[in-house]
Amino acid sequence: MKGLKACLRQTYSAVTKDLFDTHNAPQWKPLLYNLAFLHTVIQERKKFGAIGWNIPYEFNMADFTSSAMYLLNYFEDADLRKGVSWNSIRYMLGEIQYGGRVTDNCDNRLLNSYMQTWFGEHIMDKSFQYFNGYKLPSFKTMSEYRAYIDNLPSVDRPEVFGLHGNADLLYQSNTAGSMLSCILNIQPKTVSTSSSAGKKDEGGKEVESRENTVKELVDSMLKKMPEEYNEHLLSEQLQKLGVIQPMTIFLKQEVMRMKKLLSSIHVTLNNLQLAIEGSICMSDELQNILDSLYDAIVPHGWVKGFLTATLQEIARKHSGWSLDNVSIVCEVSKVFKEDVSMVPNEDLNHVIVAAGGFDQSTKAISASGVLSNLLFANHKEANTGILLHAKDATNNGYSRTVVQCKDKDVLVMLVNLCHESHADEVWISEGTSSQKIFVPVHTIFSSMPIDVRQSLIGFHSITGCDTTSQPNGISKKTAWEFYKKS
């Protein structure tokens, strides 16, 4: 059962009518719901992996039940005329009931933050809410609470759990990866040459077995395998670099690891080749490698410190510098890489930020949720993905957009971009670094009649593009001439 709504429904089902009607204190019924909400959030944070909890704790319904029993005993024994001792409740829940499982200091601080935020006199205020759309209800009957839970949003936002909105991207990516991995694992893996012999696909071509497909791939990989390192030549080259230098030591270690890896790959591929031919037995390990190669996955075991060696190198160059006090600092410059003519001798440079916003006023990386807006799309078509970024750039104030691509689909969509956006200039470029061609899409757009601008992308789709077929016997040029006449 996944999702906050479903998990909260299951958790609150453990609240019996006898427990619900035990007290008439105004704090009792909302506090039971509050405890159920806390338990649900604690459980659901685990789906975010290390972002949710540093350690995946085994919280379960026994924690909720024992916490509810503690609250029951507290309300029976306490003098509520003096008020609720929230400090006692926060301590028992945060340090004993749930906190007893927590061993990481950061996780403990997170749990206590929940206690401070969700357990106090302020939660009895009608304006209190966990997040937009998630309030602490106050009803008289269990059916009203359950109806309220049923009306909660079906899709959870990470902010409900106290996480950044981009945390959902990681969760969705991991979920999709797990699902695809499961699909690959349940594929038939016992198709032999004999069973596939004579079979043909829809195009009339004979179906090739998994073994033959992998054998061809193994043959190709063995031909491309580099020769083993010459240890004597390697030793001479390392002597020239300075044997005791940290970077040289690191290089030697990496070369040795690569040598072992190449040797292991070579032996594995040869054994797999013999196993496919039937010369040796196909072991479980070789079968897993065969499956991985067929599924275009790097086999487990083929897949491992540059930064530490860099810090050691810098520390040795400066007398009195302690390695413990040397750290890596990333400074965002105010220039583009084309404007840099020389770089510092010791600094690491050319760091690529894969996603993130940039505040021009402060010259710093923005903490706003730009990742989900700029780089996330609900489709996987590369061409429309290009347009997504180009359109976002124009919407964020960039007056000139340059797209490097030679696909005519992208060209047509860029013309449409000129129609929808406020960009002054839209260019598409292609060619090599020495011979680049820049096509002014905005000029093409300006030269078109208004009706052609509006219907161009539809015309291109109907007459044939990457996702639709061209009409039989009608070329795009012929269709265009007919369109102009009409």
Per-residue pLDDT, averaged over 206-220, amounts to 82
Final residue belonging to a domain, choices 298, 333, 366? 366
CA distance 393 to 387: 10
* Residue 402: pLDDT over 60: yes
* Residue 207: pLDDT over 80: no
Residue 190 in any domain: the answer is no
* Banded model confidence at residue 363, pLDDT cuts 50, 70, 90: low
Q: What is the pTM of this model?
A: 0.51
pLDDT of residue 92: 93
pLDDT of residue 210: 79
Does 351 share its domain with 399? no
pLDDT of residue 180: 83
**Selected residue with higher pLDDT from 148 and 449:** 148
Per-residue pLDDT, averaged over 103-108, amounts to 92
Residue 374 in any domain: the answer is no
pLDDT of residue 205: 57
pLDDT of residue 411: 78
pLDDT of residue 352: 38
Does 96 share its domain with 55? yes
Residue 198 in any domain: the answer is no
pLDDT of residue 348: 44
pLDDT of residue 297: 80
Largest CA distance in the chain: 90
Does 8 share its domain with 157? yes
- Cα torsion 262, 268, 272, 274 to 10°: value is 100
Residue 72 in any domain: the answer is yes
Residue 372 in any domain: the answer is no
Report the percentage of the chain scoring pLDDT > 70: 75
Tens of pLDDT, residues 25-51: 889 999 999 999 999 999 999 988 888
Tokens read off for 213: 């497909």
Does 272 share its domain with 361? no
Per-residue pLDDT, averaged over 225-241, amounts to 80
Exposed (0-12), middle (13-18) or buried (19+): which is 444, by Cβ within 10 Å?
A: middle
* Residue 20: pLDDT over 70: yes
Residue 144 in any domain: the answer is yes
Does 227 share its domain with 262? yes
Does 10 share its domain with 132? yes
Task: Count CB neighbours of 412 within 10 A.
Answer: 18
Q: What is the rounded average pLDDT for all residues in the chain?
A: 78
pLDDT of residue 354: 38
**Selected residue with higher pLDDT from 340 and 29:** 29
Tens of pLDDT, residues 304-337: 455 666 676 677 777 777 777 777 666 666 666 5
Tokens read off for 385: 């993905």
* Banded model confidence at residue 116, pLDDT cuts 50, 70, 90: very high
Final residue belonging to a domain, choices 118, 152, 169? 169
Per-residue pLDDT, averaged over 348-364, amounts to 47
* Banded model confidence at residue 431, pLDDT cuts 50, 70, 90: low
* Banded model confidence at residue 79, pLDDT cuts 50, 70, 90: confident
* Residue 197: pLDDT over 60: no
Task: Count CB neighbours of 291 within 10 A.
Answer: 17
Does 343 share its domain with 303? no
pLDDT of residue 24: 85
CA-nearest of 420, 398, 411 to 440 is 411
Tokens read off for 125: 């205020």
pLDDT of residue 310: 66
Q: Which residue range is the domain that position 413 belongs to?
A: 380-485
pLDDT of residue 42: 94
Number of domains in the chain: 4
Does 237 share its domain with 318? no
Does 161 share its domain with 21? yes
Does 21 share its domain with 127? yes
- Mean pLDDT lowest for which of 126-135, 138-147, 196-205, 271-280? 196-205
Task: Count CB neighbours of 186 within 10 A.
Answer: 8
CATH label of the domain that carries residue 44: 1.10.8.720
Does 59 share its domain with 159? yes
Does 301 share its domain with 321? no
**Selected residue with higher pLDDT from 66 and 477:** 66
* Residue 258: pLDDT over 90: no
Final residue belonging to a domain, choices 366, 400, 433? 366
CA distance 470 to 475: 7
Measured between alpha carbons, how far is residue 108 from residues 40, 102, 162, 287 in Å?
Answer: 17, 6, 15, 44
Query: Facing residues of 428 across strands?
Result: 403, 439
Task: Count CB neighbours of 133 within 10 A.
Answer: 11
Residue 199 in any domain: the answer is no
